[in-house]
Amino acid sequence: MTVGRTSWWMQPGSVEVRIVAAGGWWDAVRVPLGLGTDALRHLGDETGAVIADGFSGRLYWLIPPGSAADWQLPHVRVLGRGWHVAIPPLHRVTRPGLYWQVHPSRGHEWTNTPRLHSALRTALLRRKSPTL
């Protein structure tokens, strides 16, 4: 992550979706929309940037590279080296298609990996509970 200026992958003037390789500036955590919405609620203001894909019904969190390589959570895919992620233009914050559910900001691009893991586990457990 670059401090003091916008990271190159954000490209503030871009008007098109771009494909960016994961594993360099960040890894991405891909989850189904329902699970992701629950996790986002648990994270609150502690979340970093989140990409929403309105077509596939998925959310993508950006996390420090390599920080979730050992995760074993159902319905959760960590996208690191060897994966690519579609990045919406910075101005796109609503549907349809690809947009920023939580806009990236300088110094707050990534989500804390242990905190995201905890939020996803909580969301998964709540979904399994017959009383909720």
Q: What is the pLDDT of residue 101?
A: 95
pLDDT digits (tens, 9 = 90+) for 10-67: 666 667 889 999 999 999 999 999 999 999 999 999 999 999 999 999 999 999 999 9
Confidence class for position 2, pLDDT limits 50, 70, 90? very low
Confidence class for position 132, pLDDT limits 50, 70, 90? very low
Question: What is the residue extent of each domain of the chain?
Answer: 20-128
Neighbour count for residue 73 (Cβ, 10 Å): 16
pLDDT digits (tens, 9 = 90+) for 93-123: 998 899 999 988 766 789 999 999 999 999 9
Give the residue carrying structure tokens 């939580």: 102
Q: What is the pLDDT of residue 127?
A: 82
Say if CB 30 and CB 58 are below 8 A apart: yes
| Terminal-to-terminal C-alpha distance of the chain | 39
